Amino acid sequence: MARVAILHNTLDFQGGADVVCLSACAALQAEHSVTLYTISESDPGDLAARFGIDLDTASLDVRMPTGAEPLARMLSAGAPAVGPQLALRSVLLRRAVGRQLGAFDLVVSTANEVSLPTPSVQYVHYPQFRTHRLPDGDGGGLNRVWSRLGAPRSDDLDDETTLLANSAWTARVTETVYGVRPSVLHPPVDPIAGRNAWGERRDGIVVVGRLAPDKRIGDAVRIVDGVRARGHDLSLQVVGAAPRSYRRYVRRVESMADKRPYVTVEQNAPRARLEELLCTHKYGLNCKPREHFGMSVAEYVASGMVAFAPDSGGQREVLNGRENRLFGSVDEAIDLVAAAAAADDPPVLPPDRFGSERFRRGISDAVARAL
């Protein structure tokens, strides 16, 4: 049994990166002593229950730097003014716990690349540093500062650093920044039991994920408006985590829903409710372009839905590049969804492609090799 430290800059955005973090904790607990370092106001046990992750919270040693909880609350409260926070939180966490890392046999970062003095496994959702090297990089005006403080040098990513990425697309982006191409380990998404047969499902669209500006939920509302104008009586169910960081955006989404009887918004729904919606509706929709992987898209597939997503990023891999499911604009999405509603054809993609057991084996094997 080895002593493994897991660094995760924050659980407060309650998205796919946090699923990876808690799934990695659960996978490594079986063979190692695991300590989770983070700067969060969110409780790991509560999130694990919401995500449906079998995490032994009693044996997980969760440590936060002194003052981490009030700092997390302050950053969440000031999110609209502070801007992108992941690189900042990573720098703060790394600086606060750096001297403690020497006591561990291995360090695992589940929240992107970071400069570390020890052997490590680093899981990249999207590069958080040196975003100025990317044509569409948007790490905020201070990213160059955070990069000087926390980014690894390319020659640091040597044989003692195992790099993993959530998609082949992210792996290519990481190679652009650092000249090193990570191996791909897709995040864990299990098939959902009790999936309704296609003919028993509602003619409705579900949007799952953080209620955040980058998810472009307003576009989803406009897509449903357009499909309904074509004569298809589809409803829209928006369901997802509503962290305090995005409270202003949530209010805007709720205002849009209030004007439309066919649009419903549910905040912080329990896992059982989420699965109920996924298993009883026909269509799943994601509107964020260049999604690094697309956990929600993978969940749509895993629950037996027909899924639609922008024609960019890792979600192309999730949907196997199918042109009739990938769109480049709101108007194209309206065309695709309307055509699917008219044809009423069931899905063809397998629901078990991204199962959690595959992820657990992958992260456990990477740690074993690194040790």
Structure tokens at 291: 């999604």
Report phi then psi at 182, rounded to 5: -70, 160
Structure tokens at 220: 């989803």
Residue 324 and residue 319: Cα distance in Å, rounded?
10
Contact 358, 336 (CB under 8 A): no
Residue 134 and residue 137: Cα distance in Å, rounded?
5
DSSP 182: P
Confidence (pLDDT) at 114: 95
3-188+356-370 topology per CATH: Rossmann fold (3.40.50)
Instruction: Specify which residues 207 forms β-bridges with.
Output: 238
Q: What are the tens digits of pLDDT across the range 64-123? A: 998 888 888 888 776 655 567 889 999 999 999 989 999 999 999 999 999 998 889 999
State which amino acid sits at residue 170. Answer: T
- Across the chain, what does the average pLDDT equal? 93
SS (H, E, C) 66-126: CCHHHHHHHHHHCHHHHCCCHHHHHHHHHHHHHHHHHHCCEEEECCCCCCCCCCEEEEECC
Q: Which residue has the higher pLDDT, 311 or 159?
A: 311
Domain borders along the chain are 3-188+356-370, 198-343
Residue 132 and residue 141: Cα distance in Å, rounded?
10
Structure tokens at 49: 């229950």
Cα torsion 28, 30, 32, 37: sign: positive
With a cut of 60, say whether residue 324 has pLDDT above it: yes
Residue 279 and residue 195: Cα distance in Å, rounded?
5
Confidence (pLDDT) at 75: 82
Q: How confident is the model at residue 33 (pLDDT cuts 50, 70, 90)?
A: very high
Confidence (pLDDT) at 165: 98
Rounded to an integer, the average pLDDT of 269-277 is 92
**CB within 8 Å of 55: residues ≥ 6 apart:** 22, 25, 26, 29, 44, 45, 48
pTM of the predicted structure, to 2 decimals: 0.91
198-343 topology per CATH: Rossmann fold (3.40.50)
